[in-house]
């Protein structure tokens, strides 16, 4: 990019480039040079907007965590419609077909990033923790509507579904799970759904 030409939404451009690298090549390929090359900008652009590369990665994770919050509102709005199994299966697919699995790998791969994230999110694995909260909120709404048993242990069901979904989507080299396979697992975890 020529000097003096403004880049609109540079943070998002850099985040999107990082996502593409994560999805294509995995966390070991994610470097500041790889991100700026993928984004089509000079390396200095990243360092003008972020203190260092771990700051960039932390902001990427926090941005993607915020997107889970948006998905959560959409999922809660579906309470009382469709089937529980379909709604949860769709939510898991939307979450894990995105960059979520790669973000979890990145957090696991980089000790400094994990330590930095712990300061702002001391509980659970970032992204997975918020995803479990999303599923729990939805299941509570369905329980309140009488579509889930009144004694359903939402606090156990939600992380079970997130962990299972993560395992289904974790193989970057194989084909993604089919919608039927995801729904089958969800139905097994949520009896009567």
CA-nearest of 62, 52, 72 to 119 is: 62
Residue 1 lies in a domain: no
Phi/psi region, residue 178 (left: phi>0; alpha: psi -120 to 50; beta: rest), is beta
159, 102: one domain: yes
Same domain, residue pair 26 and 69 = no
**Boundaries of domain holding 71:** 62-189
Domain match, 155 and 73 both = yes
Q: Do 85 and 115 belong to one domain?
A: yes
Give how many domains the chain has, as a whole number.
2
Tell me if 131 sits within 8 A of 68, measured CB to CB: yes
Instruction: Tell me the CA distances in angstroms from 12 to 70, 93, 167, one per residue in order.
Output: 17, 23, 28
Residues 134, 72: contact at Cβ < 8 Å? Answer: yes
Sequential pLDDT tens for the chain (193 residues): 444 444 558 999 999 999 999 988 988 899 999 999 999 999 899 999 999 999 999 999 999 888 888 889 999 999 999 999 999 999 999 998 878 888 888 888 888 888 888 888 777 788 888 999 999 999 999 999 999 999 999 999 999 999 999 999 888 778 889 999 999 999 999 976 5
Rounded to two decimals, the pTM is 0.84
């Amino acid at each position: 990019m020529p000097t003096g030409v403004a880049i609109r939404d540079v943070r998002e451009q850099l985040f999107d480039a990082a996502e593409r690298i994560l999805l294509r090549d995995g966390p070991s390929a994610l470097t500041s040079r790889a991100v700026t090359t993928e984004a089509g900008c000079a390396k200095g652009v990243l360092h003008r907007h972020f203190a260092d590369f771990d700051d960039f990665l932390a902001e990427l994770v926090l941005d993607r965590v915020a997107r889970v919050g948006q998905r959560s509102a959409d999922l809660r709005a579906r309470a009382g419609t469709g089937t529980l199994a379909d709604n949860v299966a769709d939510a898991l697919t939307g979450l894990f077909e995105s960059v979520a699995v790669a973000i979890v790998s990145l957090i696991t791969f980089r000790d400094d990033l994990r330590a930095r994230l712990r300061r702002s999110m001391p509980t659970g694995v970032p992204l997975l923790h918020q995803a479990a909260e999303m599923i729990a909120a939805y299941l509570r709404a369905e329980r309140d509507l009488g579509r889930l048993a009144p004694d359903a242990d939402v606090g156990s069901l939600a992380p079970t579904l997130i962990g299972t979904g993560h395992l289904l989507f974790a193989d970057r080299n194989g084909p993604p799970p089919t919608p039927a396979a995801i729904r089958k697992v969800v139905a097994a975890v949520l009896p009567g759904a």
